[in-house]
Amino acid sequence: MSDDHSKHHIVQPTTYATILGALLLFTVLTYYVAFIDLGVLSNFVAMGIAVTKGSLVVLFFMHIFYSTRLLWVVVAGSFGWLGLMLVLTLGDYITRHWDIQHRIFF
Amino acid sequence: MSAHVIESKPLVVEHKEEQENYLTAGYTLKSWFLTLDHKRIAILYLLSVTTMFFVGGIFASLMRLELMTPQSDLFEPDNFNKLFTMHGIVMVFFFIIPAVPGVLGNFLLPLMIGAKDVAFPRLNLLSWYVYIVGAAFTMFTIVSGGVDTGWTFYTPYSTSSSQTHVVPVVLGLFITGFSSILTGLNFMVTIHRMRAPGLSWFRLPLMVWSIYATSIIQILGTPVIAVTLMMAALEKVLRIGIFDPNLGGDPVLFQHLFWFYSHPAVYIMIVPGMGVINEVVTCFSRRSIFGYRAIAFANVGFVVFSFVVWGHHMIVAGQSVYSALIFSILSYLVGIFSAIKVFNWTATMYKGSISFDTPMLYVFGFQGLFLIGGLTGLFLAALGFDVHVHDTYFVVAHFHYVMVGGLVMAFLAGIHFWWPKMFGKKYPESIAKFAMILVFAGFNLTFFPQFILGYLGMPRRYASYPDEFQVLNVMSTAGGSVLGLGFLLIAAYMVWSLVFGKKAGMNPWKATGLEWEHTTSPPPTENFYETPIVNEDPYNYANRDFTKDFNKEVKLGA
């Protein structure tokens, strides 16, 4: 088993500053987008910005961008698990009020 | 798997048995309560979970006593509600979940992989303290007034109507959850980074695979229940609308989030128990495990599928019929992994040289009872049947067959199997066999009538019931008495053996495995006198000489 601890990547302060700037920019963007009526796209845009911000935090502030493949798998697996919870729960909410005309099997 | 040439040499111990071991390394309270030794922490867990088991058992006994008669005689219905809630909370969160990982996992994991300790010994001790703080918190609030929501804390009752101590109990469970997460994290890192030279993934004992799978579920699932319970507490205190429809929330959302953890929690409970069965069934059949890789990957299958079946708890809860259909199908699929294991254990025994020592008797008990528990689980995954028996004693019987018939049997198998290793002493075998029969008979007499009661329509969680159900309830209570006697007898002879038991020697069962063949009983604080090198597959009983007396061999080296 290799010693991964000896391979820590040192992130430059400028990288952190850039990511911080991007996060602040996206926050401002979230604020202004909220005033624009995008119809059904509103939620998708808001969630898209939030996911982008979250990804930046995970990749750079949590150092995953510079980490081993095993850690990538761990992160991907964790989000996959979260996805399972969201998809199956939302599956209930989306189909709960389907009336008889939508029924496929019976 | 290919056969390997064994180059094992006899362990030369030079009277190390009489020398210091982890039990004699210190006698002060400080040496126990500040210990970083995983074996001592395992003993602390053993004492804690056993205490909680008997506390939960007292609640169960009082419930069964009340249910002797159709009327509510001993307890007011409100107090009966508290009784079954306390039984559920104590047993689920403070006994079943931590029992095998906390006790057997802690004691065995480093020994099985040839390590000196777990990866983070201080974190390990912290896990136990967090468990104790959570348990003390919960017990105090239970004693000071209790809670009546059932162990599931269903909303909106728990957050809006219940006048009992929901918030403090929930906080106690929130705290305890961290113990589970930290233990899982510790075990995963230990398995990844501290295996002995030569101990590749497919040479690991299957118990280790089970612990690894359990750890993944603990890490992924426990935060969800912690956050969910905290949201329920916040709704109750601050009236934030999350689950209460009067505040704009959705009570079914609570059930989704609760069961997203609590169904996988069933696998936190049973998978390490299955790990124990692998070790015991091979030893007492004198055969290598049948289908090593299939069983190993079945553990991984449990991890994945345990997280996608939770909706079968909510079939009549207002969930979409389409969701119910999908969850039903997925629930059937999870049975495949149980079947892989049960068939492989049976195949392992086929043409084996089976001996009927106490641990193996518990394995037989496990096989039969878990089979009934598992198959009735398939009944409950069937939509139509579930509607009929939902919230009846059929469900109670089903999960007790899985949890007690499965996990407790496996836990007792493990405790009896490794007791000589843990304490270096033998327990009285005849009495142990008698106790096993008491437990097995008492268990079936307690819970089989409950299948019938449930099928006939007796709902659970009521202190009174129609007269026609009395005979079956009396049978159940009588069985509970026998079961309780069995457990008390086990506790009595185990304690007796610590003082009066004969010395067990290094490997009384002539089992394979690093913990049996490479260290003494009890092991020294550092586990091994020299780091073992693994050069064969696990359960290599075909290449062992069973006429050899391992214990004499140890002394030869002196």
Q: Give the pLDDT score at B145.
A: 86
CB distance B323–A78 less than 8 Å? no
- What phi and psi values does residue B459 have, to the nearest 5 degrees? -75, 150
Q: Give the pLDDT score at B18.
A: 56
B5 or B119, higher pLDDT: B119
- Nearest residue, CB atoms, A95 vs list B310, B318, B320: B320
Question: What pLDDT, in 10s, does the model give residues B421-436?
Answer: 999 999 999 999 999 9
User: Is the CB of residue B427 less than 8 Å from the CB of residue B494?
Assistant: yes
Q: For residue B36, which amino acid is it?
A: L
Question: What pLDDT, in 10s, does the model give residues B301-352?
Answer: 999 999 999 999 999 998 999 999 999 999 999 999 999 999 999 999 999 9
Question: What CATH number does the domain located at B16-556 have?
Answer: 1.20.210.10
Mean per-residue pLDDT, B218-225: 92
Mutate to test the interface with A, among B256, B257, B383 (most CBs of A within 10 A): B256
Q: Give the pLDDT score at A3.
A: 47
- Positions of chain A with pLDDT lower than 50, given as ranges: 1-3, 5-6, 106
Is A91 touching B (CB cutoff 8 A)? Answer: yes
Mutate to test the interface with A, among B200, B215, B322 (most CBs of A within 10 A): B322
Contacts of A94 in chain B (CB under 8 A): 320
Q: Give the pLDDT score at B519.
A: 94
Question: What pLDDT, in 10s, does the model give residues B75-133?
Answer: 999 999 999 999 999 999 999 999 999 999 999 999 999 999 999 999 999 999 999 99
Domain chopping of chain B, boundaries: 16-556
Is A105 touching B (CB cutoff 8 A)? Answer: yes
Contacts of A89 in chain B (CB under 8 A): 253, 256-257, 260
C-beta neighbour count of B182 within 10 angstroms = 21
Question: Across chain B, what does the average pLDDT equal?
Answer: 92
Mean per-residue pLDDT, B389-405: 95
**Ramachandran region of residue B66, left (φ > 0), alpha (ψ -120 to 50) or beta?**
alpha
Q: Give the pLDDT score at B174.
A: 92
CB distance A93–B193 less than 8 Å? no
Nearest CA in chain B to A87: B308
User: Is the CB of residue B383 less than 8 Å from the CB of residue B315?
Assistant: yes
Q: Give the pLDDT score at B442.
A: 97
Please state, in angstroms and as integers, the Cα–Cα distance from residue B225 to each residue in B87, B170, B222, B232, B419, following that order: 19, 10, 5, 10, 34
User: Is the CB of residue B289 less than 8 Å from the CB of residue B274?
Assistant: no
DSSP reduced 3-state for B392: strand
Distance CA B244, CA B238 (A): 12
Q: Give the pLDDT score at B528.
A: 94
Enter the ipTM.
0.83
Q: Give the pLDDT score at A105.
A: 53
CB distance B256–A92 less than 8 Å? yes
Which band of pLDDT confidence, cut at 50, 70 and 90, is reported for residue B475? Answer: very high
A61: which 2 tokens? 């502030």
Mutate to test the interface with B, among A6, A88, A98 (most CBs of B within 10 A): A88
Which band of pLDDT confidence, cut at 50, 70 and 90, is reported for residue B556? Answer: very low
Distance CA B339, CA B495 (A): 36
Question: What pLDDT, in 10s, does the model give residues B25-71?
Answer: 999 999 999 999 999 999 999 999 999 999 999 999 999 999 999 99
Contacts of B318 in chain A (CB under 8 A): 96
Minimum mean pLDDT range among A38-42, B360-364, B522-526: A38-42
Q: Give the pLDDT score at B11.
A: 54
In B29-166, the DSSP E strands lie at: none
Is A68 touching B (CB cutoff 8 A)? Answer: no
Distance CA B383, CA B96 (A): 28
Helix axes B321-349, B358-381, angle to 10 degrees: 160
pLDDT more than 70, % of chain B: 94
Q: For residue B269, which amino acid is it?
A: M
Which band of pLDDT confidence, cut at 50, 70 and 90, is reported for residue B481? Answer: very high
Residue B307 has what DSSP assignment?
A: T
Helix axes B358-381, B251-285, angle to 10 degrees: 150
Q: Give the pLDDT score at A6.
A: 47
Q: Give the pLDDT score at B33.
A: 96
Q: Give the pLDDT score at B162.
A: 86
